[in-house]
Chains A and B, each alone.
Chain A
Amino acid sequence: MEIEFLKMKNFRQYIDQKIAFAHPEGDRNFTIILGANGAGKTNLLNAITWCLYGEELHIGRKYKGLPLVNTTTLKELKPGESCDVEVQVQFKEKSGQKILITRTLEIIKTSTSNFQKIGPALMMMRQLGKDWIQVTEPQDIINRLIPKDLEEYFFFDGERLDRYFREETGETISKAVFRISQLGLLESVIVHLKRKRDEFLRDSRGLSSKAEDIRAFLDVQKKSFEADIEELAELESDKTEAERKEAGFSVKLRRCSAERISALENQRTELATDLDRLDSEITELRNDKFEFIFRSAPTIYLSGPLLRTTEMISAREEAGEIPPEYKKPFLEKMLRRGKCGACGRDLPEGSNYRKNVEDLLRKSSEISEISKEIIELNKDLQSMLSRLGSFREKQVKFGKKLKSLENERGQKSKKLKKISEEIGESDIEQVKMWESKRQQWKDIKEDLISKIGVSKFRIERRQNIIRAKENELKRELKKQGKYEKLLKILDFCDKSLEAAIAIKNAVMEDVRQEIEEKTEEQFFSLIWKKETYIDVKIDDAYNISVLHRSGMEGIGTLSAGERQVLALSFMAALNNVSGFDVPIIIDTPLGRISRKPKKSIALNLPKYLKGKQVTLLVTEEEYTPEVRELLDNRVGKNYVIEFKETGNGNLAEVVLS
């Protein structure tokens, strides 16, 4: 990418200036702008950064606080008049596409000594074929072309170069390397991926343990359930056996030769059958009673408010407030016929009678629907309350029937007990033994029935628990699906993290090596004491060392010029590895360099920056006849800044030399 031109209007000392730059292709890729100290060289850099970022990034102390509008123009303005400060930079990409960036600040003079600023406004036009289109969000595009925080690696400042290795530590240089090679992007990817991974890990931990806990709990419950079922089957089997044995002894007793015993046993069998029937009837009745109470409960709880509501509605009905005295269709019919349906009076238009009927109709329309609903509601409420009235009656009925059945059962039980006692007290030993055995098996059977009841209850409860837990597990399994997905995400994040870290390390090492090689190559091509220093090293922490031939660290012994050359070499190396195709502008590159090194730099810099558009902002002292001669066949554009001080301010003009 190259800068085609820089146009300035009323910017600092430039009233109306256009500077075209040398093209990077071919040998003449250098633009020289020669100017004395203070003539306006650095303000050319400032014009570019103001245009791109809205800030003068290279402003010196001299200009800080001064308005960037040209003071001559400002002074010539009358109050109420305005002028524009405008800087345009036109870039041309390698594809040939052009980008024109314009930043404008409107200055309105409000009084002889005051002015007001409007803006600045930024506009970007991009060439598309023969047309130019305006680009939205131009600042974003500029930051992609030349990121603001990397600007200093493209638009160098000689003074800054001199300070570079005196002020910057390995850490700050490392940051510069990170910025320029976009390792910072990889670093952010790693940091953010780690954070995302931790978030996912937290989520998955919660999910997995719950599902696993439920599954473990269900395993235990299901094993217990199977054991319960087995136990119930055994109990049932034992009960059947006990029943069979009991029945066996009953049969023996019925078949007893003693008639009395046989008759008693027959009675007992009948009583036992009756007791079974009674037990079943009592259970059924108890269930019905429970169901009835359960269904009536809400009405019982709400009986007070329900009663008050019906009383209120009934009172209104009695007072004749609801429903309305006259029905809507009746009133409508009267008006249609023009005759009162009650008294037969005529209802002519405009008459008071007619107005009364119309008034009634209006009121009736408003309240008839509501009244209808209230009356319906009252019917429902009364029906509910009447059911409530029968509640006590029904409950008493239930109670009486239950008591009667229980009494009957009690009596039959007593009879049964008596029969058993009588048979047990028989003087026939065999009968005694049979009865004892029958009673034994009956007790066993009853014990088993009780155990079966407990077992069934336990099984039912466990079934409910299992059902509930299975539902919970299903819900968790849905989450488990998410968990499995989360595991995949975690795995993916881990792989990506591993890749990002490996790539970052590889790029870092690559960049470090390349910067080291290029800095060394450039340094030794520019430096004049080629025998004094033998190596330039950049360690992993980006600490630069220049090895003296004595084997000692030599960076501290470098002269100002040598330091500037090292910084220039390093900056150029950074520029090279950045991957950004951006022109280079160096302000006072040779300011601190003495005659001999200047010659060396002038000879080698073009080789090093071949193919790049290079602009050097130089002073007469830097751009010596020797340097000029060495660079002559590399310079495509040669300018001189003509500077003059006027009573109203400074003026400068860049002219071709």
Chain B
Amino acid sequence: MPRVNKRILDKINESDYNRNIKDFLKSILIIELERLVKGALQYGKEYDRCIMKFLNKED
């Protein structure tokens, strides 16, 4: 079942950004996809949670 477009995922994977930034972008794209599917308007808390999760990994 397609989730985030493979082309976008490929471009993220091929890019020179560090692994954590790549994983963060993938996670945040999934959040956006879920929002789109569910028609949700809120994003703040999910973004905060995701930013904190990957920020801790950055340390």
* Chain B contacts with A in 18-37, Cβ cutoff 8 A: 21-22, 24-25, 28-29, 32-33, 35-37
Q: Are B38 and A140 in contact (CB under 8 A)?
A: yes
* Chain A contacts with B in 185-199, Cβ cutoff 8 A: 185-186, 188-189, 192-193, 196
The number of chain A residues touching the other chain, given as a range, is 35 or more
* Alpha-carbon distance A500/B12, docked complex (angstroms): 9
Chain B residue nearest to A180 (CB atoms) is B5
A503-B51 CB under 8 A given contacts A185-B33, A186-B29, A488-B58: no
Chain B residue nearest to A141 (CB atoms) is B1
Q: Are B47 and A196 in contact (CB under 8 A)?
A: yes
Q: Are A182 and B55 in contact (CB under 8 A)?
A: no
Chain B residue nearest to A511 (CB atoms) is B7
Contacting A189 at CB < 8 Å: which of B3, B6, B15, B32? B32
Q: Are B1 and A145 in contact (CB under 8 A)?
A: yes
Q: Are A503 and B25 in contact (CB under 8 A)?
A: yes
* Alpha-carbon distance A17/B33, docked complex (angstroms): 35
Q: Are B12 and A503 in contact (CB under 8 A)?
A: yes
Contacting B8 at CB < 8 Å: which of A93, A145, A502, A503? A503
Q: Are B1 and A196 in contact (CB under 8 A)?
A: no
> In the complex, which residues of chain A have a beta carbon less than 8 angstroms from the beta carbon of B32?
185, 188-189, 192
* Chain A contacts with B in 479-506, Cβ cutoff 8 A: 485, 488-489, 492-493, 495-496, 499-500, 502-503, 506
Q: Are B55 and A488 in contact (CB under 8 A)?
A: yes
Q: Quick check: is A144 within 8 A (CB to CB) of the other chain?
A: yes
Give the shortest distance, in Å, between B10 (CB) and chain A (any CB).
9
Contacting B47 at CB < 8 Å: which of A147, A193, A503? A193
* Alpha-carbon distance A86/B17, docked complex (angstroms): 51
Q: Quick check: is A123 within 8 A (CB to CB) of the other chain?
A: no
Contacting A140 at CB < 8 Å: which of B4, B37, B55? B37
* Alpha-carbon distance A145/B12, docked complex (angstroms): 23
Q: Are A189 and B5 in contact (CB under 8 A)?
A: no
A579-B37 CB under 8 A given contacts A188-B32, A499-B17: no
> In the complex, which residues of chain B have a beta carbon less than 8 angstroms from the beta carbon of A510?
7, 11
Q: Are B8 and A496 in contact (CB under 8 A)?
A: no
Give the shortest distance, in Å, between A580 (CB) and chain B (any CB).
6
Residues of A within 8 A of B (CB): 93, 140-141, 143-145, 147, 181-186, 188-189, 192-193, 196, 485, 488-489, 492-493, 495-496, 499-500, 502-503, 506-507, 510-511, 577-581
In the assembled complex, 18 residue pairs joining A and B whose CB atoms fall closer than 8 Å, in A order, are: A140-B38, A144-B2, A144-B33, A147-B36, A182-B5, A185-B4, A185-B8, A185-B33, A189-B25, A189-B28, A196-B47, A492-B24, A495-B17, A495-B21, A499-B21, A499-B22, A507-B11, A577-B7
- Give me 18 other A-B pairs in contact (C-beta within 8 A), A93-B1, A147-B36 excluded: A184-B36, A185-B5, A186-B29, A189-B32, A193-B28, A193-B47, A196-B47, A485-B55, A488-B58, A488-B59, A492-B24, A492-B51, A492-B55, A495-B17, A502-B15, A507-B5, A577-B7, A579-B7
- 9 nearest CB pairs, A to B: A182-B5, A185-B32, A579-B5, A499-B17, A143-B37, A188-B32, A579-B6, A503-B11, A192-B43
